[in-house]
Structure 1
Amino acid sequence: MNVTANWSYPTAIRFGAGRIAEIAEACTAAGITKPLLVTDKGLANLPITTQTLDLLEAAGLGRAMFADVDPNPTEVNAEAGVKAYREGGHDGVVAFGGGSGLDLGKVVAFMAGQSRPLWDFEDIDDWWTRADADAIAPIVAVPTTAGTGSEVGRASVITNSQTHEKKIIFHPKLLPAVVICDPELTVGMPPMITAGTGMDAFAHCLEAFCSPHYHPMSQGIALEGMRLVKENLPKVFADGTDIEARAHMMSAAAMGATAFQKGLGAIHALSHPIGAVHHTHHGTTNAVVMQPVLRFNRAAIEDRLALAAAYLGIAGGYGGFYAFVGDLNAALGIPATLTDLGVANPDIDALVASALIDPSVGGNPVKMTAENTRALLLDCF
């Protein structure tokens, strides 16, 4: 199967193995002549990053990198990135990496021309209209994991370093102008990161599919995204060099982030505060709380998940789907509980309070309250 294509939805995407070679062309298409490559500390010195910088330099686009990015990027990282961007006289960003590098790269491009503080643009009501849209720099996104789908998203998740809360920064122009999805860049992901990021993509599709909001386009994308994860995540976990399966996982990641315009839910409402406070891996945390959330939402989603199970080739309706999630987690070595994940001495009241103000809450099929959310969280330990 030839998994190489150019797509124009939801933005311009150059998809296929080896297409990182087109990074300079992508910058030109986005109107960038002097890019700042933003990535995370873990990727900064890896061959895929060096290769990308070599390609930019060879094309006369300079060689500039900012990599002071934490696993859960903060406003402190953002300020440092904007400083590097301005001092370097850059005119665009190559956001390179997993969710952290992509999210921070997008925010650097967004904030470089703004005069208001970052938190003024949180995803609340129409706060995004406060931004000077003309001052937002163009973004080329290059994912190196297959999970968050941030490369096709209009938002970034940034952790407030003072309150340890994950905040969502939103603006339509945070959507990158050009995306390069090259599955060869994901080959070096270790199995546990492959598992965690893959389950993040699955969680996005699952929650979008179960959200009660009306968005049939997202519904269809979410369903096929789940199928791609079901068929391909076990393959790439077992053999990271399976390029075709890696490609399908990259598609699933982009599909999840496109689908969750329909909404997310309790999985993300829990995993955002847990990750912000306890520094757990986001996708792995999603996987750990997935079955408890399926139980929590059962009455509202039972019929809908029976339809999904049929499409996915899973027998037994809701019960079969629920068992499938447990079996998949076990096969991927995902911890069974938050305790096993390393969450120790949690402040349950604080986590519940944070969960209830998370933007994901509104998409959950069952209304989340202080009482039922507390019970749900305790059920995850």
Structure 2
Amino acid sequence: METFVFPNTIKFGVGSVSALSEALAELGSERPLLVTDPGLIESGLISEFQSTTGLVGAMVFSEVDANPSERNVRAGVEAFRSGRCDGIVGIGGGSAIDAAKGIRLLVHHEGPLGDYGIREQGWSRMTQPMPEMIAIPTTAGTGSEVARGALLIEETKGAKIAVVGPRLFPSMSICDPELTLGMPNWLTAGTGMDALTHCVEEYLSPQFNPIIEGLALEGVRRASSSLLRAFQEGSDIAARSDMMVAAMLGGMGFAKGLGIVHSLSHAIGGLFGGHHGTLNAILLPACLEFNRESCLPKFRLLCQSAGIQVEEVDDQGCADAFIQYIVDLNTNLEMSLRLSELGASESDLDRLADYSMKDHCHLTNPKKPMLEDFRNLLKRHL
């Protein structure tokens, strides 16, 4: 027997952020902590957001790194307590929303963050009440606003871990595409490829969940039709809306599992940094090639969802076409990165491969990877 859960309440649409005050009242929060990142503070978006939503006096916590850490979370917990807050609003990209989830967890839970990791079955330790939380994305990529987990760097090993549990679903999500209009091109590309990679890996996962398979293919369709448009014309609200939907669909599909792209990008991001979506983008073609024979018939529907004409093509041709499509999309989005640019060298490959192997995402990969497979894939991207 399988169990399918989609518990989020989502308010979606242009201008939907205006519903925040009503949503906070509905959840009984009068003193929310606004969790965001330094970039949104510097851009003025948070100040404008506070003015338009009536939260001018709310406490703001913005000590959130691009790859949020346990240190960030513990500082946020102190801010929550010192401000006598009674709820959390996570506004920003996946980093801010994931940090907000970590704060929400540790407000009333003891112990190191690592105790709550998915490989430790940490959800069983999430027994205490958690503050109500509203997630408001300002990017369209991670899907964290509708997901039951967070990616955070733990203090002990410096590794990126997934903290996952049904109680970490945000109480409510407010998804306003207008908030993504100010994204720079590189961030539109990186977050968009994150959303697309989520949907592709979820669809290819061998786990049985036909609901998510349909959602994932719809996410591929929307991202394929709108990501390049959003990149080339940032003010195209229809394209921005499509990408926000694609990101949500990818977030809803995490329960079906991801794959080796994410195991690799989690290891790289945890040890050397780098934008998560950009890492996913550059890793995706080689990982699809690694998996192709284990999920070959599935490439046809991926092609069709991406708008690639494959009526006269066999399954091998479909795989070739979709992998080349991702390569070309990366080129058009100006996505290029070598691991050496992040400071990694051949001497780091064994440690990176080991961290990739310890990551949970490859457990739902179509083809079981070995340690040497991870090392070879990493070496290709030095």
TM-score w.r.t. the length of structure 1 is 0.93
Q: 2: CA distance between counterparts of 1:336 and 1:309?
A: 25
Matches within 5 A, 1:147-296: 147-296=141-290
What's the CA shift string for 1:53-95, capped at 9, x where partnerless? 224546xx84210001111111111110000001111111000
Are the counterparts in 1 of residues 147 and 254 from structure 2 also a CA contact under 8 Å? no
Q: What's the counterpart of residue 329 of structure 1? A: 330
Matches within 5 A, 1:1-381: 10-57=7-54, 62-124=57-119, 126-133=121-128, 135-315=129-309, 316-335=317-336, 337-339=338-340, 342-346=342-346, 347-381=348-382
SS of the equivalent of 2:294 reads: helix
Are the counterparts in 1 of residues 35 and 88 from structure 2 also a CA contact under 8 Å? yes
Structure 2 residue identity aligned to 1:46: S
Are the counterparts in 2 of residues 267 and 290 from structure 1 also a CA contact under 8 Å? yes
Structure 1 residue ranges (4+ consecutive) displaced by more than 3 angstroms after TM superposition = 55-58, 336-339, 341-344
Of the structure 1 ranges 110-119 and 83-92, higher mean CA displacement relative to structure 2 is found in: 110-119
Q: 2: CA distance between counterparts of 1:41 and 1:113?
A: 26
What's the CA shift string for 1:9-29, capped at 9, x where partnerless? 541111111111111112122
SS of the equivalent of 1:124 reads: helix
Residue identity (%): 39
SS of the equivalent of 1:45 reads: helix
Q: Would you say how many aligned residue pairs link Structure 1 and Structure 2?
A: 370
Q: 1: CA distance between counterparts of 2:177 and 2:186?
A: 17
Q: 1: CA distance between counterparts of 2:164 and 2:305?
A: 33
Could you tell me how far 1:337 is from its partner in structure 2? 4.3
Distance 1:168 1:245, change over 3 A: same
Are the counterparts in 1 of residues 224 and 307 from structure 2 also a CA contact under 8 Å? no
SS of the equivalent of 1:93 reads: strand
Could you tell me how far 1:30 is from its partner in structure 2? 2.2
Could you tell me how far 1:229 is from its partner in structure 2? 0.5
Of the structure 1 ranges 100-109 and 45-54, higher mean CA displacement relative to structure 2 is found in: 45-54
Of the structure 1 ranges 165-174 and 205-214, higher mean CA displacement relative to structure 2 is found in: 165-174
Could you tell me how far 1:37 is from its partner in structure 2? 0.2
Are the counterparts in 2 of residues 34 and 91 from structure 1 also a CA contact under 8 Å? yes
Are the counterparts in 2 of residues 56 and 63 from structure 1 also a CA contact under 8 Å? no
Q: 2: CA distance between counterparts of 1:115 and 1:56?
A: 33
SS of the equivalent of 2:34 reads: strand
Q: 1: CA distance between counterparts of 2:372 and 2:326?
A: 26
Could you tell me how far 1:312 is from its partner in structure 2? 2.9
Could you tell me how far 1:372 is from its partner in structure 2? 1.9
Q: What's the counterpart of residue 3 of structure 1? A: none
Could you tell me how far 1:354 is from its partner in structure 2? 0.2
Structure 2 residue identity aligned to 1:369: M
Of the structure 1 ranges 139-148 and 171-180, higher mean CA displacement relative to structure 2 is found in: 171-180
What's the CA shift string for 1:262-295, capped at 9, x where partnerless? 0111100100011111111000000001111011
Could you tell me how far 1:122 is from its partner in structure 2? 1.0
What's the CA shift string for 1:85-109, capped at 9, x where partnerless? 0111111100010011000011111
Distance 1:368 1:129, change over 3 A: same
Ranges in structure 2 where 5+ consecutive residues have no aligned partner:
310-316
Q: 2: CA distance between counterparts of 1:73 and 1:27?
A: 25
Are the counterparts in 2 of residues 154 and 174 from structure 1 also a CA contact under 8 Å? yes
Are the counterparts in 2 of residues 54 and 63 from structure 1 also a CA contact under 8 Å? no
Are the counterparts in 1 of residues 273 and 342 from structure 2 also a CA contact under 8 Å? no
Structure 2 residue identity aligned to 1:360: C
